[in-house]
């Protein structure tokens, strides 16, 4: 061995969740064993280039944070020797083991040392890499990972079937029960937001408008709320969204049955224990368990909200033209949706059960219904304009207040800088106060920018009620009585208006 060869050693340590509480595999134990080896048994001059740890990470793939940092150090020339406790700490994948030991490390001139199971030193005993013991050990480590993965998957599926929550973070509106593992309890603060979302949507407020209202009120979106609550939640989209609500987030909440006490898990699964990519599975493979935790909204409200979406996708003819009132007209006797028929040049709505004499329900002409709806719509136009004007005035007043506060903060920033320049305050005090000042200014600027966009919007004219997209925002249901009486249930006012054809 050349005495003047200096080895830049990378210590690699890994512990996966499946290793449990095995003290012999703990991070600290691995660190002590490798440290003792370097001090007492390492052959050659060496210096520690770095320690790379993957704690709670499986070894079946190379996409491990610590392992990847070590590879970058190798490629940058800062590491030319890797030391680990055993082969299984570096590799649980037989194919990866062969690639790195026989191709990657030799290509970059890296000395690889495993202290046991089996002992390997690619510099002192390169023939061991090509022998039988290393490949056989790799196969056994690979099979062990396969069996462990199957055991873990079976255990998780058993918990899913029992309705135990196994996710890393509870859904928005809930918290993990600290006293009962696998159970959810209501987060009162977030649950109130969830209830408002469902109530607004039940009034036919769009998801985009709900998101706007929450942002205007300064309520954090679920991802930002988790971070603020002290959870170690990571999401690459968090910075881009700036903690604001979106229509997509609202839609996901409205469609999640977890809010009626039903646990739905297993919507995705990994391809294999080696390929960690996730793929969606069909509803028939989901784990659905009812009454596993306290509901935030009742089933009636949940079904009402989701029926709004379902009503929009029905009622198409062969030319894909959606009829104006399809899915909105109900029989006042049996409560079933009425079907649309055409006879003698007129379109009618009649109860589908009437033909089989199961229901004595009546029928009504479509043009008469449209006329009644238009009459009510005209009465509501003036009332809606007044309500909108009051709301916009309040929002504009609040926006002006926030803008004045922002101007005041900026003046304070100027004064703060002058105090620092004239040594009225120390560098430490300046740095601490300026950081808080900067965070407050950024938050206000973001809020004012967001609300300024809405403040610039002009008050739009009332939309045409005889367009399908506008009608479903106005009418929740139309009930036809046996004698032809008509009752309209309006979403916006959540009240019952009666009329007669």
The CATH number for 114's domain is 3.40.50.1390
- What is the reported pLDDT for 85? 92
DSSP string, 75-101: HTTS--EEEEEEHHHH-S-HHHHHHII
Which range marks the domain in which residue 233 is found? 174-309
pLDDT in tens, 187-199: 999 999 999 999 9
Q: Mean pLDDT throughout 262-284?
A: 76
Please classify residue 440 by burial: count the beta carbons closer than 10 Å to its beta carbon, then call 0-12 exposed, 13-18 middle and 19+ buried.
Answer: middle
Instruction: Report the 10 Å Cβ neighbour count for 334.
Output: 15
User: Model confidence over 124-144: pLDDT tens digits?
Assistant: 988 888 777 887 887 777 777
Residue 487, domain member (yes or no)? no
Higher pLDDT, residue 140 or 10? 10
Alpha-carbon distance values, 329 to 300, 323, 381, 480, 487 (Å): 19, 12, 23, 7, 10
pLDDT in tens, 277-330: 777 777 888 888 888 999 999 888 888 888 765 555 444 444 444 567 777 788
More confident residue, 364 or 388: 364
| Mean pLDDT to the nearest integer, 385-410 | 69
Q: CA 457, CA 68: separation in Å to the nearest integer? A: 49
Domain boundary among 309, 326, 343: 309
Co-location of 142 and 194 in the same domain: no
How many domains does the chain fold into?
3
Q: Show which of 309, 332, 353 is a domain's final residue.
A: 309
Angle 82-85-87 from CA coordinates, rounded to 5°: 80
Range list of H helices, 174-320: 188-202, 207-216, 222-228, 238-241, 247-254, 299-311
d(CA 444, CA 437): 11
CATH code at position 254: 3.90.1750
Peptide bond just before 118 cis, omega within 30 deg: yes
Regarding whether 196 and 125 lie in a shared domain, the answer is no
pLDDT of residue 24: 52
| Residues 266, 224 within the same domain | yes
pLDDT surpasses 70 at 55: yes
Token pair 């881009």 is found at 240
* Residue 472: predicted pLDDT: 67
Angle at the Cα of 39 from the Cα atoms of 34 and 44, rounded to 5 degrees: 100
Residues whose CB falls within 8 Å of the CB of residue 3, separated by 6 or more in sequence, listed in order: 44, 45
**pLDDT value at residue 313:** 44
Do residues 233 and 298 both lie within one domain?
Answer: yes
- In the numeric block, which tokens belong to residue 30? 């691995």
Nearest to 404 by CA among 396, 416, 415: 396
Rounded alpha-carbon distances, angstroms, from residue 447 to 2, 64, 241, 403: 65, 38, 13, 10
Average pLDDT of the residues in 392-405: 73
Do 98 and 187 belong to one domain?
Answer: no
Is the residue at 164 inside a domain? no
| Shared domain check, 15 and 145 | yes
d(CA 308, CA 203): 10
Answer yes or no: is pLDDT of 399 > 60: yes
Please state which of the ranges 5-9, 240-244, 484-488 shows the lowest mean pLDDT.
240-244
More confident residue, 1 or 138: 138
For 65-105, the pLDDT digits (tens) are 999 999 999 999 999 999 999 888 888 888 888 899 989 99
Both 209 and 143 in one domain: the answer is no
């Amino acid at each position: 061995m050349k005495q003047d060869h200096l080895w830049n050693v990378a210590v690699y340590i890994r512990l996966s969740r499946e290793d449990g509480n095995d003290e012999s595999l703990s991070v600290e134990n691995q660190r002590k064993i490798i440290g003792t080896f370097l001090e007492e048994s390492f052959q050659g001059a060496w210096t520690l280039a770095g320690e790379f740890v993957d704690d709670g990470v499986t070894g079946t793939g190379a996409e491990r944070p610590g392992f990847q940092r070590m590879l970058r150090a190798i490629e940058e020339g800062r590491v030319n020797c890797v030391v680990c406790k055993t082969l299984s700490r570096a590799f649980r994948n037989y194919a990866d083991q062969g690639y790195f030991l026989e191709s990657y490390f030799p290509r970059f001139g890296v000395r690889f040392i495993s202290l046991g199971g089996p002992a390997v030193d690619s510099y002192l005993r390169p023939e061991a890499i090509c022998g039988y013991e290393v490949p056989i050990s790799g196969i056994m480590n690979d099979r062990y990972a396969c069996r462990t993965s199957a055991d873990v998957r079976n255990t998780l599926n058993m918990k899913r079937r029992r309705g135990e929550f196994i996710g890393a973070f509870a859904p928005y509106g809930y918290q993990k029960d600290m006293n009962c593992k696998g159970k959810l309890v209501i987060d009162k603060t977030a649950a109130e937001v969830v209830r408002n979302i469902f109530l607004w949507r039940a009034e036919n407020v769009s998801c985009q408008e709900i998101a706007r209202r929450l942002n205007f009120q300064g309520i954090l979106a679920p991802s930002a709320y988790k971070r603020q609550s002290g959870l170690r939640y990571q999401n690459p989209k968090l910075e881009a969204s700036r903690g604001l609500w979106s229509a997509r987030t609202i839609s996901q909440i409205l469609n999640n049955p977890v809010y009626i006490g039903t646990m739905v898990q297993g919507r995705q699964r990994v391809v294999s224990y080696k390929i960690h990519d996730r793929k969606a599975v069909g509803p028939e493979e989901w784990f659905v368990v009812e009454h596993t935790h306290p509901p935030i909204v009742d089933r009636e409200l949940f079904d009402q909200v989701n029926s709004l979406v379902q009503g929009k996708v029905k009622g198409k003819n062969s030319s894909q033209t959606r009829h104006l009132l399809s899915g909105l007209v109900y029989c006042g006797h049996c409560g079933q949706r009425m079907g649309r028929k055409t006879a003698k040049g007129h379109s009618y709505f009649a109860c589908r059960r009437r033909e089989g004499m199961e229901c004595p329900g009546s029928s009504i002409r479509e043009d008469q219904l449209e006329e009644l709806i238009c009459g009510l719509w005209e009465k509501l136009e003036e009332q809606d304009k007044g309500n909108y004007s009051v709301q916009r005035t309040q929002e504009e007043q609040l926006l002006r207040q926030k803008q004045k506060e922002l101007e005041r903060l900026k003046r304070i920033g100027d004064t703060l800088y002058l105090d620092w320049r004239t040594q009225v305050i120390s560098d430490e005090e300046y740095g601490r106060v300026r950081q808080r000042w900067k965070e407050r200014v950024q938050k206000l600027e973001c809020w004012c920018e967001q609300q300024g966009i809405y403040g610039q919007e002009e008050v739009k004219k009332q939309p045409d009620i005889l367009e399908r997209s506008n009608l479903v925002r106005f009418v929740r249901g139309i009930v036809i009585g046996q004698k032809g009486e008509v009752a309209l249930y309006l979403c916006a006012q959540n009240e019952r208006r009666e009329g007669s054809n």
